[in-house]
Structure 1
Amino acid sequence: MCHAGRELEQEGTAVLSDEVAKSVEECARAAKRAAPALAAASDEAVDTALTAMAGRLLDGRETVLDANRADVAKARDEGMSAGLLDRLTITAERLTGMAEQLRLLAGAPHQERERQLSILDGGLRLVERRRPVGVIGANYEARPNVTVDVASQLVKSRNAGVLRTGSAALGSAQRLLDTVIAPALADAGIDSDVVQLVPRMEREAAAALVRLPDLVPLVILRGSGESTRSLATEAATHGVRTLAHADGGGVLYVDKAADPAMVRSLVVGSLDRLGVCNRLNLLLIHSEARDQLWPVIEEALAERAVTPSLPPHDHPIGYEWALDSAREATVTVAPVSGVEEAVRIANEQTSGLAAGIATEDTAAANAFFDGYTGTGVFWNAPTRLLDGFKLLAVPETGINLDKVPGPRGPVTYTDLYIRQYAVLPDRR
């Protein structure tokens, strides 16, 4: 009896998985069919679409906020942690910020579609051309604002997209697609099918999205470290490239020459939101400065209702608290002997997202900058600044930490193209 029941359960799971995979593939095929229309769109049409998205987002703010409130209420009833609820929530202020980012993106310069590199022998010239990828996928969890961020970046770079979000944010994402993104594209004369949203809640949809190399050759992955790494591995086995944002956690090294007021400002400013990757996660303090600066640091942590994890630690020193739904309001604190040890820890025991130094000593700052190999490095500035909008004044699709050539740091529309070399007669 148990064996037969197990067979029925397995059969039902297989049918469900097939349905999910089919749904994802249908979205991918629709996006691919529409992709040429976007690739051929004029700069004016693209910017008109982005401006229209901003307008529709503001005009339809109540319907978007209503959908988001429903998502948040459901997630709260299901026991979602405070940090994850913060990511899920679209406030009126955040919605206005989303619209402003869309307007700034519309006004940002378009990438040159081609540029001359050199003149070759035989009366030929070499040109570098930028071509869209075609269709780019994106997987992200409880962050409905990412729906607009990624869709707008894809439109600006003339790539069609297949977006997949988790069940918690699906209602908000669908409302954003139906009332903001799709009609704005249509208003600009662009086929609205270029942006697809997978209408499935199942986690299998994420795996299905990274198994379609002929339809979706590149997928942007954002989310918790373990799940994102697993998807990146799955993608690699199917020949799909990824831009993965799996891990985070900002580091702050407090040097013995740090200004106490600056230290306090950096700690408070780096903990304004606890569920984001670029928040303060690890605080390293020069052992000679601990007695002097600890009262200031302790006061700053208390202001943000954050608990310090002090030695001896029962966890890895680079443990990312933003991913711990039960203990998000925690910062690891550890003494170090100086810049060299701080850099070694930041390089070898953290994700390599971002690290900063608080000091008034230029030599110490230079040594820190020269030694740290991570994506973003900061001097008397919070790691929260490692963000596409804050650094580059355009939204980002994520922050790439790869230590290989290619887009690194905040990935924006300027990174989402394929380089093509063209050799042609010099007939200028």
Structure 2
Amino acid sequence: MVDEVVEACARAAKQAAPSLAAATDEAIDAALAGMAERLRANADKLLDVNNGDVYVALEEGMSSGLIDRLRITPERLTAMADALLLLAGVPQEPRETPVRDLPDGLRLVERRRPVGVIGANYEARPNVTVDIASQLIKSRNAGVLRTGSAALQSAKALVRLVIAPALTDAGIDPAVIQLVPSPEREAAAALVRFPDLVPLVILRGSGESTRELGLEAAKHGVRTLAHADGGGVLYIDGAADLDKAIGLVASSLDRLGVCNRLNLLLIDSSIYGEVLPKIQETLSELGIKLSMPPHEHPIGYEWALDPANEATVTISPVDDAVQAAQVANEKTSGLAAGIVTEDKAVADAFMDAYTGTGVFWNATTRLLDGFKLLAVPETGINIDKVPGPRGPVTYTDLCLRQYAVVPA
């Protein structure tokens, strides 16, 4: 039954997709601006629905970090609207780019084409409904969205009050964005089983369930852009400005339920004894516990996924910057790592040795975010170690390359 519901959504999106693919740049951007306008106009209704989702989640014992993800505040709603307007104002990528002249009076051009229909499975974060829908619309891809049951009512309200009417007013078939109405977890697995309808699925969230969905997709010939694991690393070098380091530790923990928060803190062994009391004092003021060596868990254990211990950071001494980078490479997901130092040569050594998605010098890993880095929302953060979109994935990545040979 769930498979049939998801398949119906996929077929509806595919049928409507040509309406979006053929839309003018002006229509696309009008739809995004209309979404921003409707977010503000329907703020009270949207916040009301979201409060209902939060109330149910609290009754069911959801952790504070996950509640933080689920909640839409007036400030977050305003930020969502601002992001949409920013995206609407970004010039479209050229649909055709000249490559070179060929013999016999021919010319090679590279064309950008939409995928068609892209699926997205994401955690209980209502704002992601708007983030992903906006990226799909900007890239002219129809979409089938599936969110966790905790956020389903908020997501439905966003589609009904914001996304669909904005598309309609812009002259685009609102069926291009489908939201799976079923709360069952099985809907996520169903989404990756229709390669002819949904050839690409964005998998957001962290942990084993996302990896399992990736394996299920591979069995059915569906490609994925997956974000299965997170956890930011910060290394404090012996040549660090300690006040700056303490400030970065604190700013890296402003939200505990997000993937790019501080998870593993590494400190140069030459200053470990000096810095540790200051770190302990700072984290105690923030209500954060330290997991001290010797550790009874993997050193890269992601605390954001542990509802009972979200307010925890792992700490460990290391010999130098290169060893810190090696620990981050080998023991963590490879999402993001930063170094605090005033020595450029040491910073360069760390950044050259670290192979992960984002590397930061005297900056917080919380910056690894589409909006903060690239000034556009993201569909997720890809940490694959193969060619393809890596880091924050935005609308510019959601296309197919087509070579065309035409008369010069």
- Please give the TM-score of this superposition, normalised by the length of structure 2: 0.99
Alignment match of 1:191 (pick from 164, 173, 182) = 173
The answer on 1:319 being equivalent to 2:311 is no
2:232 maps to which of 250, 256, 268: 250
- How far apart, CA to CA, are the structure 2 residues paired with 1:157 and 1:340? 40
Within the candidate set 81, 93, 101, 1:99 is matched to 81
Deviation, 1:303, is 2.6
Distance (whole Å) between structure 2 residues aligned to residue 396 and residue 238 of structure 1 = 26
User: Residue 254 of structure 2 aligns with which residue?
Assistant: 272
Whether the aligned pair in 2 keeps the contact of 1:263 and 1:297 (CA below 8 Å) is no
CA distance in 2 between counterparts of 1:188 and 1:401 reads 35
Map residues 210-221 of structure 1 onto 2, 5 A cutoff. 210-221=192-203
> By how many angstroms is 1:299 displaced?
2.1
What is the root-mean-square deviation in Å for CA atoms of aligned residues?
0.6
Q: Is the 8 A contact 2:206 2:230 kept in 1?
A: no
Distance in 2 (CA, whole Å) between partners of 1:179 and 1:421 is 40
Alpha-carbon offset, residue 422 of structure 1:
0.4
Deviation at 1:184, TM superposition (A): 0.4
Asked whether the equivalents of residues 268 and 303 of structure 1 are also in contact (C-alpha less than 8 Å), the reply is: no
Aligned counterpart, 1:364: 346
Matches within 5 A, 1:289-304: 289-304=271-286
Query: What amino acid is aligned across from residue 19 of structure 2 in structure 1?
Result: A
1:193-208 mapped onto 2 (5 Å cutoff)? 193-208=175-190
| Mapped partners of 2:307, 2:385: distance in 1 | 29
288-297 or 41-50: which moved more? 288-297
- Structure 2 match to 1:260: 242
Corresponding residue number in structure 2 for 1:15: none
Does the CA contact (< 8 Å) of 1:249 and 1:353 recur in 2?
yes
Contact kept? 1:249, 1:278, Cα under 8 Å:
yes
Asked if 2 retains the 8 angstrom alpha-carbon contact of 1:260 and 1:296, the reply is no
Partner of 1:121: 103
Q: Is the 8 A contact 1:128 1:422 kept in 2?
A: yes
CA distance in 2, matches of 1:345, 1:102: 38
**For the residues of structure 2 that align with 1:393 and 1:355, how far apart are their CA atoms?**
21
Cα distance, 1:141 vs structure 2:
1.5
Matching residue of 1:148: 130
Shift of 1:245: 0.6
The reply on whether 1:131 has 2:113 as its aligned counterpart is yes
- Distance, in Å, in 1 between the alignment partners of 2:321 and 2:367 is 22
C-alpha separation in 2, matches of 1:121 and 1:404:
34
Query: Are 1:386 and 1:410, in contact at CA under 8 Å, matched by a contact in 2?
Result: yes
The CA distance in 1 between the partners of 2:10 and 2:57, in whole Å, is 28
1:367-386 CA-to-partner distances (Å, cap 9, x unmatched) read 00110000000000000000
Q: Which residue of 2 aligns with 1:53?
A: 35
d(CA) in 1 for partners of 2:91, 2:371: 15
Does residue 350 of the first structure (1) align with residue 332 of the second (2)? yes
Q: Give, in whole Å, the separation in 1 of the partners of 2:253 and 2:80.
A: 21
Mapped to 1, the partners of 2:206 and 2:363 lie a distance apart of 26
CA distance in structure 2 between the partners assigned to 1:303 and 1:190 by the alignment: 51
Letter aligned with residue 110 of structure 1: Q
Q: Determine the C-alpha separation between the residues in 2 that align with 1:215 and 1:92.
A: 37
Instruction: Give the partner amino acid of 1:248.
Output: G
124, 140, 159: which one pairs with 1:158?
A: 140
More displaced 10-residue stretch of structure 1: 248-257 or 284-293 = 284-293
- Which stretches of structure 1, 4 residues or longer, exceed 6 Å deviation after superposition? none
Instruction: Output the CA distance in 2 between the equivalents of 1:412 and 1:298.
Output: 38
Give deviations 1:219-249, integer Å, cap 9, x for gaps.
Answer: 0001121000000000000000000011000
Cα deviation, 1:329-350, whole Å, max 9, x if unaligned, reads 0000001011121111000110
| Structure 1 residue 311 displacement after superposition | 0.5
CA distance in 1, matches of 2:213, 2:76: 29
Counterpart Cα distance in 1 of 2:283 and 2:96? 51
Cα-to-partner distance string for 1:83-137 (whole Å, 9 max, x where unaligned) = 0000000001000000000000000111110100000111111000000000000
The 2-side partners of 1:134 and 1:340 are apart by: 44
- Counterpart CA distance in 1 for 2:286 and 2:389 is 34
Any gaps of 5 or more consecutive residues in structure 2?
Answer: none
Aligned partner of 2:371 in structure 1 is 389
| 1:418 partnered with 2:400 | yes
What are the Cα deviations for residues 353-406 of structure 1, in whole angstroms up to 9, with x where unaligned? 000000111111000011000000000000000000000110000000011111
Give the distance between the partners of 1:424 and 1:105, measured in 2 at CA.
32
Take 1:122 and 1:224, find their aligned partners in 2: how far apart are those partners?
A: 53
Q: Does structure 2 retain, via aligned residues, the 8 Å contact 1:272–1:304?
A: no
How many percent of aligned residue pairs carry the same amino acid? Answer: 71
Task: Tell me the distance in 2 between the aligned counterparts of 1:117 and 1:300.
Answer: 55
The letter of the residue matching 2:153 is G
Contact kept, 8 Å, 1:119 with 1:126, in 2: the verdict is yes
2:211 and 2:96 map into 1 onto residues whose CA distance is: 35
Contact 1:130 1:418 in 2 (8 A): yes
1:300-326 Cα shifts (integer Å, max 9, x gaps): 212321100000101000000000011
2:58 match: 76
